[in-house]
Amino acid sequence: MISQSPVLVAQITDTHLFADPTQGTMYGLPTESSFVKVLEKLKQLQPQPDVLLLTGDLSQDETSESYQRLASLLSPLNIPTYWIAGNHDNLPTMERVLNSAPISAKKSFEMGGWNFFLLNTNVPGLVYGEISPESLEWLEYNIKMTGNKPVLIALHHPPVKINSEWMDKILLHNPENLLNIINRYPQVKIVLYGHVHQEFAKEINGIHYLSTPSTCIQFEPGNPKFFLDKQPPGLRLLTLYPDGNYITKIERADYIYECDMAATGYSSTTNN
């Protein structure tokens, strides 16, 4: 019997791109420039990732053009790419634009002996997230169908608190419904998310909950109030083994930038 090789996953999150990159900044940081630097870091990796997971807030202005710019930057990599929406995204527009190879709108797939399930937590007009009963039913049914194969779940909004008071108010608002399902199935090994613009890891009942730096601005970890962090943008790499074990690390871009460190509040819609 031929053993399966591990699968290398790259998570990219919270790109916050604009239709016009020359005008698009968050707190003074040009989001496309920082994203390009993260992609340069990605291109240097050997081996290259087997799959990219984009975990939401891919646009800042919800325009078709912003998603087209994203696709134009990712497609030359020729890496299978899957995505979910964040609170800044427009899901119908994403489904229309981000659905040509190598980018797929599918929300489940199998690779390297792992099953991947991508959950929508987008609630139009709101910063926090929710998962519909239909999505939860879909998830549980599909986990049951996996047998004993390991499972990775990806979503935008964290289902667990990250020890930051202001952020903990705008996470997933019905986490217990998801966590009840997750805790019933030992196949679930990893829950991957974005939204919080920082690296974070927590293990609960043997399940690893992981967040990843944004490709643009970072929020200071552990701060009870909104505060920007000067850490560089980055991505997460995960090497997933068929037996359910994994290793992970954060790769940060070589990117020095200036942003509005005096900013005192989170803006959900404006070009800061």
Per-residue pLDDT reduced to its tens digit, 12-28: 999 999 999 888 898 88
Distance CA 119, CA 137 (A): 11
pLDDT digits (tens, 9 = 90+) for 196-237: 999 999 999 999 999 999 999 999 998 988 888 889 999 999
DSSP state of 4: P
Residue 14 maps to a domain: yes
In degrees, rounded to 5, the angle at the alpha carbon of residue 25 between the alpha carbons of residues 20 and 29 is 135
Distance CA 54, CA 118 (A): 10
pLDDT digits (tens, 9 = 90+) for 129-153: 999 999 999 999 999 999 999 999 9
Residue 156 maps to a domain: yes
Residue 239, number of CB atoms within 10 A of its CB: 16
Lowest mean pLDDT among 47-51, 153-157, 257-261: 257-261
Distance CA 64, CA 95 (A): 10
Report the DSSP beta bridge partners of residue 204. 207
Distance CA 109, CA 117 (A): 7
What is the pLDDT at residue 184?
Answer: 96
CATH number of the structural domain spanning residue 136? 3.60.21.10
Asked whether 28 and 57 are in contact (CB, 8 A), the reply is no
Residue 33 has pLDDT above 70, yes or no: yes
What is the pLDDT at residue 3?
Answer: 65
pLDDT digits (tens, 9 = 90+) for 96-134: 999 999 999 999 999 999 999 999 999 999 999 999 999
Confidence of residue 267 (pLDDT cuts 50, 70, 90): low
The count of domains in the chain is 1
Residue 239 has pLDDT above 50, yes or no: yes
Residue 256 has pLDDT above 80, yes or no: no
Residue with tokens 């404006």: 270
Distance CA 229, CA 231 (A): 6
DSSP state of 233: P
Dihedral of the alpha carbons of 166, 209, 120, 130, in degrees to the nearest 10: -40
Distance CA 91, CA 177 (A): 23
With left for phi above 0 and alpha for psi between -120 and 50, is residue 207 left, alpha or beta?
beta
Residue 261 maps to a domain: no
Residue 137 maps to a domain: yes
Residue 265 maps to a domain: no
What is the pLDDT at residue 261?
Answer: 62
Confidence of residue 238 (pLDDT cuts 50, 70, 90): very high
**Rounded-to-5 percentages of helix, strand, coil across the chain:** 20, 25, 50
Residue 262 has pLDDT above 60, yes or no: no
Residue 271 maps to a domain: no
> What percent of the chain lies above the pLDDT cut of 70?
94
What is the pLDDT at residue 202?
Answer: 97
* Domain that residue 137 falls in: 7-252
Residue 240 maps to a domain: yes
Instruction: Give whole-number Cα distances, 108 to 53, 83, 89, 264, in Å.
Output: 11, 10, 20, 38
pLDDT digits (tens, 9 = 90+) for 61-85: 999 999 999 999 999 999 999 999 9
pLDDT digits (tens, 9 = 90+) for 157-183: 999 999 999 999 999 998 999 999 999
Nearest-CA neighbor of 50 among 78, 109, 8, 16?
8
Spell out the alpha helix ranges (H) of the chain. 31-43, 64-74, 91-97, 133-145, 165-168, 175-182
Altogether, the residues listed in the chain come to a count of 272
Residue 93 maps to a domain: yes
